[in-house]
Structure 1
Amino acid sequence: MHDVLTSRLSRRQALRLLAVPVLLSVLPGLAFAGAYDDYFSAVKLDNIKLVRSLLQRGFDPNTVEEERGETGLIIAVREDAGKVFDLLLNTKDVNLDARARNGDTALMMAAYKGRYDVAKALLDKGAEPNQTGWAALHYAAAVGNNQIVQLLLDHSAYIDAESPNQTTPIMMAARGGHILTVKLLLDEGADLTLKNGAGMTALDFARVGGFKDIVEGLTYRLKKAGKL
């Protein structure tokens, strides 16, 4: 009887030992079952304590949110979550140039929001200013932020970058009526003769927008260059 009980106990112990590796393989998934929602909520609320805790437990900083296809870094810029942005910026293996579903990067978001400090921090860390299609310089020009325009140009941003329909940064500046940005881009060598997919130049955008000062300035520049 004693031998039978011993045999049964041995089998149970063996089964338990065999179950350990299986349980351990499942634990990470169980541990992060609710981490996805917790992470993105914490990023939006600038909850650095929770974000740091999740990252320390192995949560991937390049995980993408389903709604817009954005990473935590992009969301932190969009939501002005400064503490979480700093944390993610300095997190190992974070992808600075990850693109959301609409093509935006963290740098493009910073340019659009006029966040010079954020844009500079990203560039200093090695973020790429030149992207295929829309780029950060388009966004900075569109909102007329000369500080960021100059910052991007100083980091080798392509001045005549073309969007998917061949729209350039100076066209965006002219479209928005940002005369000082138009002047800055011109002084830095932007090409006024370029046309987008609809056949429009920066001068055409200024005319459509009714920005007379820009129209006059661009017309003068084109005539001076013998291109009008």
Structure 2
Amino acid sequence: MESGGDEEVANGQHIRPSGAAECSSIVKPENSSDSSLLSKQDERGFTPLMWAAAFGEKAMVDFLLEKGADPKTIARERESALTLASSGGFVDIVETLLKHGVDINTYDWNGGTPLLYAVRGNHIKCVEALLAKGADMTIESDSGYSPMALAVALGHKKIQKVLEDHILKLYKPPT
């Protein structure tokens, strides 16, 4: 979950803006009747839905899902549309993808989960949405960080509070 030095990097997933142009060319209106284009993967294994999720393009995400794009597709380094949206802090897309039955605890090549990427990016609303839908707080990245340990290491105090409150709610006896 390290970020690189490439000046085109948009988020922790190393997404370059040039990928957005490729997505747009694939899903032009005249191509929308060809469902095979919806699942076409580029050299990284990204689909148009993944690119739209990575850049926070909610209308495009909705369009692609409506046309039958598979939200469960996994790219070459195990990235998913949910991981990319979580990394970017796009809570509206996170919630939409969760409604489509994606694996909330999917992990990428270095053990990063959507929750870990949301914590890393200090995306409070994404963390809250993922926890509300059952994200597992005990999954650690390959570097050994749980969501709480990562929040502490990065000094994300508001995220720590959200995680602590969630833990307390889990252990609170029903009234």
Letter matched to residue 136 of structure 1: A
| Overall identity of the aligned pairs, in % | 32
Residue 42 of structure 2 aligns to a residue whose secondary structure is: coil
Q: Distance in 1 between matches of 2:96 and 2:102?
A: 9
- Runs of 4+ deviating beyond 3 Å: 223-226
The 3 A distance-change label for structure 1 pair 208 and 85 is farther
Instruction: Find 1:87's aligned residue among 9, 21, 30.
Output: 30
Structure 1 stretches of 5 or more lacking a match?
1-67
Assess if the C-alpha contact under 8 Å between 2:119 and 2:127 holds in 1: yes
Assess if the C-alpha contact under 8 Å between 1:129 and 1:157 holds in 2: yes
TM-score by length of 2: 0.77
Instruction: Find 1:125's aligned residue among 67, 85, 90.
Output: 67
Q: Distance in 2 between matches of 1:93 and 1:131?
A: 15
Instruction: Find 2:38's aligned residue among 90, 96, 113.
Output: 96
Q: Distance in 2 between matches of 1:120 and 1:136?
A: 13
**Which has a greater percent of helix?**
1
Instruction: Find 1:197's aligned residue among 130, 142, 147.
Output: 142
- 1:93 Cα shift? 5.3
Correspondence for 2:5: none
TM-score by length of 1: 0.60
Instruction: Find 1:152's aligned residue among 83, 97, 105.
Output: 97
Q: Distance in 2 between matches of 1:224 and 1:75?
A: 44
Letter matched to residue 179 of structure 1: I
* Higher normalized contact order (CA 8 Å, seq sep 6+, divided by chain length): 2
Correspondence for 2:128: 183
Correspondence for 1:208: 153
Q: Distance in 1 between matches of 2:113 and 2:21?
A: 23
Structure 2 stretches of 5 or more lacking a match?
1-15
- 1:158 Cα shift? 1.2
The 3 A distance-change label for structure 1 pair 150 and 137 is same
- 1:74 Cα shift? 7.0
- 1:170 Cα shift? 0.8
Residue 100 of structure 1 aligns to a residue whose secondary structure is: coil
Correspondence for 1:75: 22
Assess if the C-alpha contact under 8 Å between 2:83 and 2:117 holds in 1: yes
Q: RMSD across aligned C-alpha pairs, in angstroms?
A: 2.5
Assess if the C-alpha contact under 8 Å between 2:35 and 2:68 holds in 1: no
Post-superposition Cα deviations, 1:68-121, rounded to whole Å, max 9, x if no partner, equal 9x99x97143xxx69x6222222x353311222122111010001111111111
